[in-house]
């Protein structure tokens, strides 16, 4: 099958029977729901961009599994150059949508599961790697979007999965049958699940032998029996119901998260990629986290490009672009943004080949990349708010801008630089608001902190990967210390 167009993708999601709940009720038509549709549009862009000739090398690649050209969001990285192209692709998509385009998690899960299953099979003689290759080939051939699902609710964080008061706080196998397994539990914060054809489930922590039922990885269709989603709230999300293009800030694109419940879901044997091999749960988590922390050096940088651009525009509109402190703030924003990008490129260029043949990023540098991403977007957002001024949160609504009585006053008193229409100024202000504190902040600011693991998770990996003992030896050698 050829690469899907954006419109074909939309219709493929429309044909599915996903169980999606929002505000206490089932969403009967999620494709056209005004709150959900912007997130669908963001994914659509990953299909539309792959159709454009100038982006073919960035957005598509020849699959090592099928030998056919596929969307790079379904690809297995076979070189460090592939890893670099991934980061560049994610930056481009961030620039095009100024939102979370949601396919990174599935891509990162693909590559982590690919290499891990190879090593599980090597040790235990299982057939997980072949199972996964067949699944990946299906997704590449059909051009499917896959949601990567790792984060469990976790319950009491001080306890491992098997000691939880409620055993469903981590997704687990509740029944093993000759033809497959039955699983129960939930995955939290699932970005893009309601826009996906498939879901690829992984464990969320390293595990001991007592956690055997929780060491499970598999794939099922997003509309499988027993799977349903509860959409998360976002700041300003109901503005999308008001019919105002301006007040939303980014009216075309966005992202949504869901709590995904697996209520006794059957998984056939050929869709299972890990089933009780607890000694490989940590490897899968570590590799997925590394790939996903690399991703943030691309996607958040692309969205940052838009926010920096909006900050420069509002400086022009406010008549403040020539002020030295404004220029310096824009320089600082660019410096921070390019530093994140540099880390994403560095961990890609320093990648290495796994036993399975695909390439893994440099884990230390990937975690350094994400540690920077937990901080720099907050400073970029702060500087954007500083440059925009207080009106970024006090501007009247579009209804007041258009109002028969109020419109004249809004036009008169919110005009700034000569020749700049008041409407244009408000549009840019709303875009900044969207990215730093509105619905868009979920996919930029807050996701920069918690996506791919909290800041402490990266610090643990940096401590583990940083080779402190080796550095101590360097110092002792230079100082001629003998012990």
As annotated, the active-site residues are: 100, 104, 191, 257, 292, 296, 299, 447
What does the alpha-carbon distance between residue 221 and residue 337 come to, in Å, rounded to a whole number?
A: 37
Question: Per the structure block, which two tokens stand in for 257?
Answer: 């998260």
Alpha carbon 359 to chain centroid, angstroms? 20
User: What is the Cα–Cα distance from 299 to 296, expressed in whole angstroms?
Assistant: 5
Cα distance between the two ends of the chain: 66
**How is residue 300 written in tokens?**
């958040």
* DSSP sequence for 328-349: HHHHHHHHHHHHHHHHHHHHHH
Q: Report CA 376 to chain centroid distance, whole Å.
A: 17
What sign for the dihedral angle of Cα 57, 59, 65, 68? negative
Q: What is the dihedral of CA 64, 179, 117, 183, to 10 degrees?
A: 120
State how far the Cα of 341 lies from the Cα of 208, in Å rounded to an integer.
36
Query: Which secondary structure element, helix H or strand E, spans residue 81, and what is its range?
Result: helix 80-97
Q: Which whole-number Å values give the CA distances from 408 to 236, 244, 403, in the listed order?
A: 26, 19, 8
* Closest to 154 in 3D by CA, of 367, 447, 453, 455: 453
List beta partners, residue 274.
Answer: 217
Rounded CA gap, 447 and 3, in Å?
29
Answer whether 378's CB lies under 8 Å from 447's CB: no
Cα separation of 483 and 104, whole Å? Answer: 49
Please state, in angstroms and rounded to a whole number, the distance separating the CA atoms of residues 256 and 129: 31
């Amino acid at each position: 099958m050829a690469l899907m167009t954006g419109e074909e993708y939309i219709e493929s999601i429309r044909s599915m029977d996903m169980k999606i709940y929002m505000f206490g009720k089932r969403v009967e038509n999620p494709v056209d729901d005004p709150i959900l549709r912007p997130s669908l549009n963001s994914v659509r862009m990953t299909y539309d961009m792959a159709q454009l000739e100038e982006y073919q090398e960035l957005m598509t690649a020849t699959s090592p599994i099928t030998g056919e050209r596929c969307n790079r969001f379904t690809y297995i990285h076979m070189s460090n150059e592939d890893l670099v192209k991934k980061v560049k692709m994610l930056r481009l998509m961030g620039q095009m949508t100024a939102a979370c385009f949601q396919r990174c998690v599935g891509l990162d899960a693909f590559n982590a599961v690919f290499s891990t299953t190879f090593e599980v099979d090597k040790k235990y003689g299982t057939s997980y790697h072949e199972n996964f290759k067949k699944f990946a080939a299906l997704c590449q051939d059909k051009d499917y979007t896959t949601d990567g699902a790792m984060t469990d609710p976790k319950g009491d964080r001080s306890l491992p999965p098997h000691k939880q008061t409620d055993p469903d706080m981590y997704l687990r196998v509740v029944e093993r049958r000759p033809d497959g397994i039955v699983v129960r539990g939930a995955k939290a914060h699932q970005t893009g699940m309601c826009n996906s054809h498939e879901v690829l489930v992984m464990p969320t922590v390293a595990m001991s032998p007592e956690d055997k039922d929780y060491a499970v990885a598999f794939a099922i269709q997003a509309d499988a029996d027993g799977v349903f989603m509860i959409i998360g709230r976002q700041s300003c999300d109901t503005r999308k119901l008001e019919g105002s293009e301006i007040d939303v800030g980014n009216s075309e694109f966005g992202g949504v998260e869901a709590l995904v419940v697996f209520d006794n879901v059957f998984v056939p044997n050929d869709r299972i990629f890990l089933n009780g091999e607890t000694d490989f749960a940590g490897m899968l988590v570590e590799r997925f986290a590394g790939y996903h922390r690399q991703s943030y050096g691309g996607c958040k940088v692309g969205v940052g490009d838009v926010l920096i651009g909006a900050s420069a525009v509002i400086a022009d509109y406010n008549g403040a672009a020539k002020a030295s402190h404004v220029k310096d703030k824009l320089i600082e924003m660019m410096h921070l943004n390019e530093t994140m990008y540099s880390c994403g490129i560095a961990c890609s260029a320093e990648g290495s080949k796994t036993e399975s043949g695909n390439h893994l990023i440099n884990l230390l540098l990937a975690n350094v990349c994400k540690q920077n991403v937990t901080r720099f977007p907050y400073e970029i957002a702060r500087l954007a708010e500083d440059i925009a001024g207080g009106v970024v949160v006090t501007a009247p609504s579009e209804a007041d801008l258009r109002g028969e009585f109020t419109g004249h006053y809004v036009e008169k008193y919110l005009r700034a630089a000569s020749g700049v229409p008041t409407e244009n100024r408000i549009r840019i202000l709303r875009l900044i608001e969207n990215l730093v504190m509105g619905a868009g902040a979920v996919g930029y600011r807050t996701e920069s902190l918690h996506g791919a693991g909290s800041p402490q998770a990266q610090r643990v990996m940096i401590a583990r990967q940083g080779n402190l003992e080796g550095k101590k030896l360097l110092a002792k050698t230079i100082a001629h210390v003998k012990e």
